[in-house]
A = this chain, B = another copy of it.
Amino acid sequence: MPETSLIFPAAEYRGRVARLQEQMTTEGVDALLLTTAADVFYVTGFLTRFWESPARPWFVIVPVLGDPVAVIPSIGAPLMQRTWIEQIRTWDAPDPEDDGRTLLIDTLTSLVPDHGHVALPMGLETHLRMALLDYHAVRSALAPRRVVDGTEILQRVREVKSEAEIAKIRSSCAIAGRAFDRVPEIAGAGRPLDQLFREFQALLLEEGADWVSYLAGGAGLEGYGDVISPAPSEPLVRGDILMLDTGAVREGYFCDFDRNYAIGPASDLAKRTHEALWCATQTCLEALRPGMLARDVHHILCDALRAKGATPGGGRLGHGLGLTLTEWPSFTPKDTTPLRAGMVLTLEPGAITGADRILVHEENIVLRDSGAELLSPRAPAELPELL
């Protein structure tokens, strides 16, 4: 098979590694151990849906000096060899006696001095994708080396996207935008919601998504009960507000935004709430600047909703976006992450329309020195009406 797995030129990955190494130097860390699909893809360009199988762990080690080392199941070697990574160590996984543990320990001990520090992401919005027994064994075997938290190292680097990354996310957003434009082809009174979900995923593929990692939504009079449920088989009825929220993927990069549609004429409350959500987003688009904190976005959106007579609701009101459907930071009252130019973010205000009912609205942006630049095609100001 041809050389298709890089996604970006090697220079892109070298730049990422250099930025990670700079952070590692600042924090006195000798090696960074990565185990998740997004982190491994970020450093290597290794992109595969094979992560869907929980059978095997995958490791990439970024030393503070020199190139990354992949310690991976041999089934992944042909694909990893087509990336820019040159040091690839493999074992036959899954192995019930030693599933890469010894190879990982040997690699880490060869790269990190006896009293050095190995960092791995341990904080909010991270997890470790390896067997916990092996983690404990590796940690013990590394002593007197210390295992420390690498969340700051990774998140402060990954959260600022390169222009090449921004172009990929814009492309995913455009795909979803074209699919949303075609919703009138598949939605209307009498159409079962589960079937509509299938058809919408097919539209996303037709418009160029490589795969559809996320689709959620809901439908109901003046809003929906929650925004994470699978679709029920009940048909849409006149008066419903239909919401579709998708994370379509192209070349490893996600979009994450939603659109609302009224099935038949919408009620005044639904129209007013949709307008409040749209206007709150507009206010935020105009106000956003680097240097603000994540919690400031929450305040801006809540204030703007209240100014339009709407009641904020629906959890966090946006988040980071890129290699996964959602990334840090979170637009909550508590998140103090500083916003920086190059961050790709979602603005996702929600408003309560009744007992257990909400409406939500979402756009994707990149933050520039001068403010927000839309990546998703802007939703119409008026709630669109379908027959």
| Residues of chain A having any CB pair with chain B under 8 Å | 1-2, 4-5, 36, 38, 47-50, 52-57, 73-76, 78-79, 92, 94-97, 99, 120-133, 135-136, 149, 194, 197-199, 201-202, 205-206, 208-216, 218, 220, 224-230, 232-234, 247, 314-316, 319, 324-328, 330, 332, 334-336, 356
Contact indicator A128/B125 (Cβ below 8 Å): no
- 29 residue pairs of the A-B complex, CB under 8 angstroms, read A1-B225, A1-B232, A36-B54, A52-B214, A52-B247, A53-B324, A54-B125, A54-B327, A55-B319, A56-B125, A57-B127, A78-B229, A78-B356, A79-B226, A92-B315, A94-B332, A95-B334, A96-B124, A96-B334, A96-B336, A97-B334, A99-B124, A120-B132, A122-B136, A125-B131, A127-B131, A128-B132, A198-B205, A202-B202
Contacts of A1 in B (CB 8 A): 218, 220, 224-226, 229, 232
- Whether A132 contacts B122 in the complex (CB less than 8 A), given A49-B214, A50-B216, comes out as yes
Give the distance to chain B from A331, nearest Cβ to Cβ, in Å: 11
12 additional A-B pairs beyond A49-B228, A73-B315, A127-B127, beta carbons within 8 Å, are: A50-B214, A52-B214, A52-B324, A75-B227, A76-B226, A94-B335, A126-B131, A126-B132, A128-B128, A194-B210, A202-B202, A202-B206
A232 and B54 contact, CB distance less than 8 A: no
Kindly identify which residue among B126, B129, B210 contacts A197, using a CB–CB cutoff of 8 Å. B210
**Which 10 pairs of residues, A with B, have the shortest CB-CB distance?**
A122-B132, A78-B226, A50-B228, A53-B326, A4-B232, A202-B202, A198-B205, A122-B133, A52-B214, A75-B315
Contact of A211 among B53, B201, B225, B326 (CB under 8 A): B201
Cα–Cα distance between A210 and B202 once the two chains are bound (Å): 11
Chain B residues with CB under 8 Å of A319's CB are 55
Residue of B nearest to A147 (CB): B132
Contacts of A95 in B (CB 8 A): 332, 334
Contact A230 B48 (CB under 8 A): yes
Take A5-B230, A52-B325, A79-B228 as given contacts and tell me if A94 and B247 are in contact as well, using a CB distance cutoff of 8 Å.
no
